[in-house]
Amino acid sequence: MTAVVQGQARRPLSLRKLGSYILLVVVSIVVAFPLLLALAYSFMSESEIATFPPPVLPMHPSFDNYGKVVGTIPIVRYLLNSLIVSTAVVIGQLITASLAAYAFSFLVFRGRQLLFFVFLSTLMIPWEATIIPNYMTVRSLGWLDTYQGLAVPFLATAFGTFLLRQAFLQIPRELWDAARIDGSTTFRFLREVVIPLARPALGTVAIYGFLSTYNQYFWPLLITNETLMRTTQVGIAQLRFEESTRWGLVMAGVIMVAVPTLALLVLGQRQLIRGLTAGAVKG
């Protein structure tokens, strides 16, 4: 096995490079602006937000809004619920998607191609169309207001399977042959060769699955009624009013909810970028 060597020799900063760094800084400020503004608003009072021209930095920063969020909704419990459900979905998706992708890439069986396309075609079914059947199933299982009701419908992922299959196809076929000659079982090959080699893609599937579950709104709203079983996004909605909105309060809630996802992105960023581009160019 050959390890991929990363990193280049350091060279003095050329003018051209400096220019591109400045450009990158400007672009990243533009991209991060909504988040930074949310952060600034979360420290401002309502009357401070409602001045013209709109303020960008809080003049009298205070944690009042955060206190009010904690006082209004059980945010800690919501965060915990979201983390439990998202983690369960990630684990489930990694298991199902890697097994399915393994079958679609390494195992040879009749109708494999057809089955794969049927699998992929489920990507075309809008999620909204499956809400009612899913709801009825979950309800008939008595899973309303439970973690399994929140997590089970999302344990399999066609997108994740597709992504992993592409990654698995990058693994040289010779490894498979060698492993077979050495007497490896198919499962052992998956566990000891394929999984370690496809780590970036697995990381991508995990992060993608986590974020999309964490950001769900309608499904958790639909199948939970008990306050203690609700998730963060439903909690944020509770901070809104029908007739007027207190931006400071909402933004404080948004920041509190965004922290776990941001942490995940920072930690998994490298994996994510490597994973998403894997297979984009043949090489």
Partner 1 sequence: MRRLAALAIAVAMIAAACGGSAPGGTGTGTGTGDQSALAPGKDVKPAAKITWWHAMGGVNGEALNKIVNQFNASQSAIKVETVFQGGYDDLLSKLNTALASNAAPALVQVYDIGQRYMYDSGQVVPMQAFIDRDKFSTADFEPAVINYYKYQDKLQSMPWNASSSIFYYNKDAFGEVGLDPVKPPVTFTEITEAAKKLTKKDANGQTVRYGFGPSIYGWFFEQLLATSGSLYADNGNGRDDRATKVVYNNAAGKAILDWWKAGIDGGYFYNPGIDNAGATTAFQSGKTAMYLESSAALRGNINTAKFQVGTGLFARPDSRPKDGGNIIGGASLYIMKSRPVEEQQAAWEFVKYAMTPAVQAQWQSDTGYYAIVKAAYSEAPAKEWATKYPQFQTPVDQIRNSPQNRMTNGAVLGVFAQARARTQKMIESVLLGQATSQQALDAAAAEVNDAIDKYNKANK
Residues 49/245, Cβ–Cβ less than 8 Å: no
Give the binding range for partner 1 (CB under 8 A) out of 17-25, 74-82, 150-158, 222-230. Answer: 222-230
State the DSSP string of 21-67. HHHHHHHHHHHHHHHHHHHHHHTS-HHHHT-SSPPSS-SS--SHHHH
Which structure tokens are listed for 179? Answer: 């492993």
Q: Which is nearer to partner 1, 46 or 166 (CB)?
A: 46
4: left (phi over 0), alpha (psi -120 to 50) or beta: beta
Distance of CA 18 to the CA centre of its chain: 33
Kindly state whether residue 136 participates in binding partner 1, applying the rule CB under 8 A.
Answer: yes
46 is a contact residue toward partner 1 (CB under 8 A): yes
Of residues 1, 2, 8, 52, which one binds partner 1 by CB under 8 A? Answer: 52
CA-to-CA distance for 113 and 260, rounded, in angstroms?
39
3-class DSSP string for 246-272: CHHHHHHHHHHHHHHHHHHHHHHHHHH
Among 222, 229, 257, 272, binds partner 1 (CB under 8 A): 222
Nearest to 144 by CA among 220, 247, 63: 220
| CA atoms of 216 and 227, how far apart (whole Å) | 16
Question: x/- site string to partner 1, residues 5 to 44, per CB under 8 A?
Answer: ----------------------------------------
Comparing CB distances to partner 1, the nearer of 246 and 274 is 246
With contacts defined by CB under 8 A, name the span among 115-123, 152-160, 164-172, 234-242 that binds partner 1: 234-242
**Interacting span for partner 1 (CB under 8 A) from 16-24, 46-54, 107-115, 175-183:** 46-54
Q: Is 85 exposed, middle or buried (0-12, 13-18, 19+ CB in 10 A)?
A: buried
**Residues of this chain, 94-133, that bind partner 1 according to CB under 8 A:** 128, 131-132
Considering only 22, 26, 36, 50, the residue that binds partner 1 (CB under 8 A) is: 50
- Of 13-21, 91-99, 116-124, 219-227, the segment contacting partner 1 by CB under 8 A is 219-227
CB of 234 to partner 1, least distance (A): 7
For the chain, the farthest-separated pair of C-alpha atoms sits apart, in whole angstroms, at 74
Instruction: List interacting residues with partner 1 (CB under 8 A).
Output: 46-47, 49-52, 54, 72, 128, 131-132, 135-136, 139-140, 144, 217-218, 221-222, 225, 227, 234, 237-247, 249
